[in-house]
Amino acid sequence: MKKLEKLALSVILSIIFCADIYSQERPKWIDNPDTIALNNIAAVGTGKTQNEANANARAEILKYFEVNVSQKFEGSLSGKDDISTKLSKEEVAETASAIIKGISISKTYKDAEGFYALAILDKRKAINELSYEIDALDSKMKILLDDGDSAYSAQLKKMYLKREELNKKHIFLADKPIGAKVKYEDIFKSGKNREPLNFYLAFKDASFAGITPLKNKLSSLIINSGFTTSSDIERANRVMTVFITYLQEYMNVAGFEKWKFTFRIECKDGSKAVGIVTEEYVETGREIMQAYGKALNKFSAYLDANYEKLLQ
């Protein structure tokens, strides 16, 4: 009898507790996030789980910037050159890191409809992050320009465009720009009177089925950086040789295989090595190509962040 009484009491308490949760007054910040943002920027996200609501709230902040900043950025570059305009559009997604670091989830709420999250962008923190990234770009551009090699021209243009988009975000948040240490005119002049770099791609294991997506990836990086590719090694002034090695490793799981892939790329100007990257990945899959696909995705992300080591 005592057990039944305890069970009944537990059920009653649970009902009261749940009723209390859902009877809480709906927070005002859900419909008016700006009222709690003070001098910062706020946005609300919803979802079926708290993690989903948090992610959607952060996405709303980034969307706000895309609408209010990136359009002005693209317009500011009009009339410079076709490559600049194309690259400006591609840089929008690549310069969000400083904004993301300034976003925090300030409040959460749950009702019968789902979960809610209030994301707030700390302007001061975002401004500091933007200043740091702009300063790092300025230092890199100054070094490349002072080197005097016009082969860096396309790389400098892309870095300058990224800096300008970061600076637009800084202006939006701080109401003032960060003065450029390197002028666009100097970068533009650095590439004149020189034949653009022309790359020839060579694969040491041409029989491997996985070379095609990697070849496409490298070609895309080369072309988007303002250079060209050639099918004739005699006409190229850069030769990029790609080595892909793969070794099966022991795995005691039925139906799955483990493979170690090594990617090595050597870029040469004649006999002079101008860039080398080497990366290894151990992946599993039902067969080699499934494992290779995972490794290639990681290597592609590595190339996106480190293409400067090859494209010189």
Is there a single domain that holds both residue 177 and residue 259?
Answer: no
Look up residue 26 and give its DSSP letter.
P
Instruction: Count the Cβ atoms, other than its own, within 10 Å of residue 273.
Output: 10
Determine the pLDDT at residue 77. 42
HSE-CB at 72 with a 13 A cutoff on CA atoms is 14
Q: Decide: helix, strand or coil at residue 270.
A: coil
HSE-CB at 58 with a 13 A cutoff on CA atoms is 15
Determine the pLDDT at residue 11. 47
Determine the pLDDT at residue 83. 37
> For the segment 53-109, what is each residue's pLDDT rounded down to a tens digit?
999 999 888 888 777 776 555 544 433 344 333 333 444 444 567 788 888 898 999
143 pLDDT band (50/70/90 cuts)? Answer: confident
Is there a single domain that holds both residue 156 and residue 249?
Answer: no
Count of domains forming the chain: 3
Is there a single domain that holds both residue 17 and residue 81?
Answer: yes
Determine the pLDDT at residue 205. 74
Is there a single domain that holds both residue 78 and residue 176?
Answer: no
Question: CA dist 39 to 36, 120, 122, 141, 174, Å?
Answer: 9, 10, 9, 34, 11
Is there a single domain that holds both residue 214 and residue 284?
Answer: yes
Closest C-alpha among 93, 168, 166, 88 to residue 132: 166
- Beta-strand ranges (E) seen in the chain are 41-47, 103-111, 114-121, 198-203, 228-229, 238-249, 257-269, 272-285
> For the segment 20-69, what is each residue's pLDDT rounded down to a tens digit?
444 468 898 988 888 787 788 888 999 999 999 999 999 888 888 777 77
Residue reference for tokens 């494992």: 291
Domain boundary among 122, 147, 162: 122
CA distance 182 to 113: 53
Mean of the per-residue pLDDT values of the chain: 79
3 pLDDT band (50/70/90 cuts)? Answer: low
Is there a single domain that holds both residue 184 and residue 213?
Answer: no
Is there a single domain that holds both residue 241 and residue 301?
Answer: yes
CA distance 155 to 293: 29
Is there a single domain that holds both residue 59 and residue 118?
Answer: yes
% of the chain at pLDDT higher than 90:
30
Which range marks the domain in which residue 58 is found? 2-122
Is there a single domain that holds both residue 118 and residue 144?
Answer: no
Is there a single domain that holds both residue 225 and residue 291?
Answer: yes
Q: How far is CA 255 from the centre of its chain?
A: 34
Domain boundary among 190, 211, 245: 190
Is there a single domain that holds both residue 212 and residue 304?
Answer: yes
Is there a single domain that holds both residue 213 and residue 294?
Answer: yes
223 pLDDT band (50/70/90 cuts)? Answer: confident
> For the segment 172-215, what is each residue's pLDDT rounded down to a tens digit?
888 899 988 888 777 766 655 456 688 999 998 766 777 889 99
Residue reference for tokens 């975002």: 126
Domain boundary among 122, 157, 173: 122
**Looking at residue 288, which CATH number applies to its domain?**
3.30.160.150
Determine the pLDDT at residue 88. 38
User: Cβ neighbours of residue 40 under 8 Å, at least 6 residues apart?
Assistant: 120, 121, 122, 123
